[in-house]
Amino acid sequence: MGNQRESRPFKFLDFFENSIERVVEGSLGRILPSKLQPAEIARRLEREMMVQQVIGIDGPIAPNSFRVVLNPADATQFDG
């Protein structure tokens, strides 16, 4: 129970950091569009794992299975 109270300020800081990151990435993405990169997909998956994480008896539990759906125009660059 003590761990939940201690983690609340950090959750707020994580939420704040993620919000700022989305604003900056979104703004730059609209101003300077570029090809989709695998690192960008990985970064977004990592963010989702952190957002959906819950605290279990043995520690944090996060989803480990995701479905990634790409726009057909973006998917063609990953065909190889």
Report the domain count for the chain: 2
Question: What pLDDT does 38 receive?
Answer: 84
Q: Are residues 61 and 28 in the same domain?
A: no
Q: Are 36 and 74 in contact (CB under 8 A)?
A: yes
Tens of pLDDT along 50-78?
888 888 899 888 888 889 888 888 888 87
Largest Cα–Cα separation, the chain: 50
Length of the chain: 80
Mean pLDDT of the region 32-36: 68
- Find the domain containing 21 and state its range: 1-34
This prediction has a pTM of 0.55
Q: How many CB atoms lie within 10 A of CB 77?
A: 11
Q: Are residues 42 and 72 in the same domain?
A: yes
Same domain, 43 and 57: yes
Beta bridge partners of 61: 54
- Asked if residue 42 and residue 29 are part of one domain, the reply reads no
- Give the pLDDT confidence score for residue 15 in this predicted structure: 78
Are 43 and 5 contained in the same domain? no
